[in-house]
C-alpha cells in the first residue's frame, strides 16, 4: 500500500504530548510543535489491523508475551543485522527509559557511577539521581560538523570515577551519529577494561539514512554481548511510542538476573495491545518503514538546503540516523540558552527542544523533529527565517 505522508493528520485533542501541550509549554496555541520524538504520520496499517482484531475480544487482562512475539523480535535482529539472539536473553520491558533505569540501578549500583556521553537524551541525566548513582559526563567532540567520541577522556572518566556502567546511545540522540563498528569496538574494549557494563540504547536503530549502517553493539563479539544490555523497541521506528513496549536483550545470565532484581515490583507486564503492535510492526511494518524513511530523508534534504540558502546563521548538523536534527544556533548571537529557546517559541512560533536540556555541550543548540508533513516543516522554516531577519 502507498502511504501519503504529505497529508496533514490533525493531532490536536488526541491526548498528544506533542500537540496538546503546546500552549502550556511554549506559551501560545499557534506554535508549531517540532519537539518530542514522535512522528506526525499515520502508523502502518498492519498494526492498526492487528490491534483492531484484538479489541474485538472483550477481556483486557494482564499480558503473557507469546513465543510468537519473541520470535518476531529474534527474526528481526537476525534478518536486519545478522545478530542471533537466544529467546532466554529477551526481557520484554514497558519502555526503554524504564529499562535503562533498571540497568543503571543494577550495574552502577547505589553509591556507584554511570558514564553518559553529552549532549545526551535528557532522561539519561535522571537515571543517576533516580537510582542514587553519580553521573560522570564524557563530552562528545564536534569536529568538522560531525560529532566524535573522545576515547581518551572516556578511559580517564572510568579510571577516575570507578564507574561500573555507561549509557551508549546508538544511534545518538540528539547529535544523529550512527556509530561505526570501529568506534563501537574501541568503546567496548575500554568498557571491558574498566569492568563496566554497556547499556546500549538502540531505540533509533532502524531510522538510518542511506549510506549508513547500524551495528548492534552486542553483535560485535561474544565478549561485548556478555557485557551489555541492548534496549530495542519498535516505538520510534513504527511511530508507536505511546504504546510503551520494548525489549532488553541480556545474553549473560548473571547480568539478566541483576536486571530483573532491579526492576522487580516496579515494572509490570507490558500493555496487552502493545505486544500485539510490536509483533505486527516487526513482521509486517517494512513496507511503511521504507516509504517513511524516504519521506524523512526528503525532509532532511529540504531543511538543509533551506537553511543553507536562507538561514545561514543556523547550521544543521547532518544526522546519519534519527528524524531529529541538531541545529547549531550559536551564529544567532543569543548567548543565554533560555533566551534562545524563547526566541524560537515566542518570536518564530516554533516549538523545539532546547539544547541546554541535553546537558553540557548542548548550549547554543536546538533539536528539531522533522518527522512531519513537508508543508509543516516548510512553514516552520519560513517562520524561523522571518524571525531571524528581525534579530
Ligand atoms: C534515545 C532514546 N531512548 C529512549 C527513548 C524513549 O523510550 P521509551 O518511550 O520506550 O521509554 C527516546 C525517546 O525519544 C530516545 O530518544
Residues 158 and 92 in one domain: yes
From 284, 304, 332, the end of a domain falls on 284
Q: Ligand 1 pocket, 241 CB below 6 A?
A: yes
Per-residue pLDDT tens digits for 41-85: 999 999 999 999 999 999 999 999 999 999 999 999 999 999 999
Residues 118 and 26 in one domain: no
Residues 76 and 215 in one domain: yes
Answer whether residue 352 is part of any domain.
Answer: yes
Pairing type for strands 228-232 and 197-201 reads parallel
Residues 186 and 99 in one domain: yes
Structural domain boundaries enclosing 298: 17-39+286-389
Indicate the average pLDDT of the chain: 97
Interatomic CA distance for residues 305 and 137, integer angstroms: 34
Per-residue pLDDT tens digits for 83-108: 999 999 999 999 999 999 999 999 99
| CATH of residue 90 | 3.40.640.10
Residues 214 and 314 in one domain: no
Residues 366 and 235 in one domain: no
Q: Per-residue pLDDT averaged across 169-173, rounded? A: 98
From 239, 267, 284, the end of a domain falls on 284
Q: Ligand 1 pocket, 247 CB below 6 A?
A: no
Answer whether residue 154 is part of any domain.
Answer: yes
Per-residue pLDDT tens digits for 114-156: 999 999 999 999 999 999 999 999 999 999 999 999 999 999 9
Residues 139 and 273 in one domain: yes
Per-residue pLDDT tens digits for 311-341: 999 999 999 999 999 999 999 999 999 999 9
Distance of CA 189 to the CA centre of its chain: 24
User: Can you tell me which atom of ligand 1 is nearest the CA of 36?
Assistant: 14
Answer whether residue 6 is part of any domain.
Answer: no
127 by Cβ neighbours in 10 Å (0-12 / 13-18 / 19+) ranks as: buried
Residues 371 and 262 in one domain: no
| CATH of residue 337 | 3.90.1150.10
Q: Are 111 and 105 within 8 A, CB to CB?
A: no
> Distance from the CA of 97 to the center of ligand 1, in angstroms?
6
* Candidate from 203, 277, 323 with most ligand 1 atoms within 8 A of CB, to mutate: 203
Question: Which position has the grid cell 520494548?
Answer: 246
From 284, 319, 354, the end of a domain falls on 284
Answer whether residue 107 is part of any domain.
Answer: yes
pLDDT value at position 67? 97
**% the chain with pLDDT above 70:** 100
Residues 242 and 319 in one domain: no
Per-residue pLDDT tens digits for 356-375: 999 999 999 999 999 999 99
Question: Which position has the grid cell 519473541?
Answer: 70
Answer whether residue 55 is part of any domain.
Answer: no
Residues 193 and 312 in one domain: no
- In which band, very low, low, confident or very high, does the pLDDT at 280 lie, cut at 50, 70 and 90? very high
- In which band, very low, low, confident or very high, does the pLDDT at 283 lie, cut at 50, 70 and 90? very high
Domains of the chain: total: 2
Supply the DSSP string of 300-357, one letter for each residue.
HHHHHHHHHHH-TTSEEEPPSBSSEEEEE-GGG---SHHHHHHIIIIII-EE-EEGGG
pTM above 0.95, yes or no: yes
Amino acid at each position: 500500500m502507498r502511504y501519503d505522508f504529505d497529508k496533514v493528520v490533525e493531532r490536536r485533542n488526541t491526548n498528544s504530548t506533542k500537540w496538546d501541550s503546546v500552549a502550556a509549554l511554549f506559551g501560545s496555541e499557534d506554535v508549531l510543535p517540532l519537539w518530542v520524538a514522535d512522528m506526525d504520520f499515520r502508523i502502518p496499517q498492519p498494526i492498526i489491523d492487528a490491534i483492531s482484531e484484538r479489541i474485538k475480544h472483550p477481556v483486557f487482562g494482564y499480558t503473557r508475551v507469546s513465543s510468537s512475539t519473541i520470535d518476531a523480535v529474534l527474526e528481526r535482529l537476525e534478518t536486519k543485522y545478522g545478530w542471533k539472539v537466544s529467546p532466554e536473553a529477551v526481557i520484554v520491558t514497558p519502555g526503554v527509559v524504564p529499562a535503562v533505569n533498571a540497568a543503571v540501578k543494577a550495574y552502577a549500583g547505589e553509591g556507584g557511577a554511570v558514564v553518559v556521553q553529552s549532549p545526551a537524551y535528557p532522561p539519561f541525566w535522571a537515571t543517576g539521581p533516580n537510582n542514587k548513582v553519580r553521573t560522570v559526563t564524557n563530552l562528545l567532540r564536534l569536529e568538522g560538523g560531525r560529532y566524535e567520541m573522545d576515547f581518551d577522556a572516556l578511559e580517564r572518566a572510568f579510571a577516575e570515577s570507578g564507574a561500573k556502567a555507561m549509557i551508549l546511545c546508538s544511534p545518538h540522540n540528539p547529535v544523529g551519529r550512527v556509530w561505526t563498528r570501529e568506534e563501537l569496538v574501541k568503546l567496548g574494549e575500554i568498557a571491558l577494561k574498566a569492568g563496566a557494563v554497556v547499556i546500549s540504547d538502540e531505540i533509533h536503530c532502524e531510522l538510518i539514512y542511506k549510506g549508513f549502517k547500524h551495528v548492534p553493539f552486542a553483535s560485535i563479539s561474544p565478549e561485548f554481548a556478555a557485557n551489555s544490555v541492548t534496549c530495542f523497541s519498535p516505538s520510534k521506528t513504527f511511530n508507536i511510542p505511546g504504546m510503551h513496549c520494548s525489549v532488553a536483550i541480556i545474553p549473560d545470565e548473571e547480568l539478566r538476573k541483576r536486571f530483573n532484581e532491579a526492576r522487580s515490583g516496579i515494572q509490570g507486564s507490558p500493555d496487552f495491545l502493545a505486544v500485539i503492535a510490536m509483533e505486527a510492526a516487526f513482521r509486517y511494518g517494512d513496507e511503511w518503514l521504507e516509504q517513511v524513511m524516504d519521506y524523512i530523508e526528503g525532509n532532511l534534504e529540504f531543511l538543509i538546503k533551506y537553511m543553507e540558502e536562507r538561514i545561514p546563521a543556523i547550521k544543521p548538523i547532518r544526522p546519519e540516523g534519527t528524524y531529529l536534527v541538531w541545529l547549531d544556533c550559536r551564529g544567532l548571537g543569543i548567548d543565554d540558552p533560555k533566551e534562545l529557546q524563547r526566541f524560537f517559541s515566542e518570536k518564530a512560533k516554533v516549538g523545539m527542544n532546547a539544547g541546554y536540556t541535553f546537558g553540557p555541550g548542548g548550549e547554543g543548540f536546538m533539536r528539531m523533529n522533522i518527522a512531519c508533513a513537508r508543508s509543516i516543516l516548510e512553514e516552520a522554516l519560513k517562520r524561523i527565517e522571518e524571525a531571524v531577519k528581525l534579530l
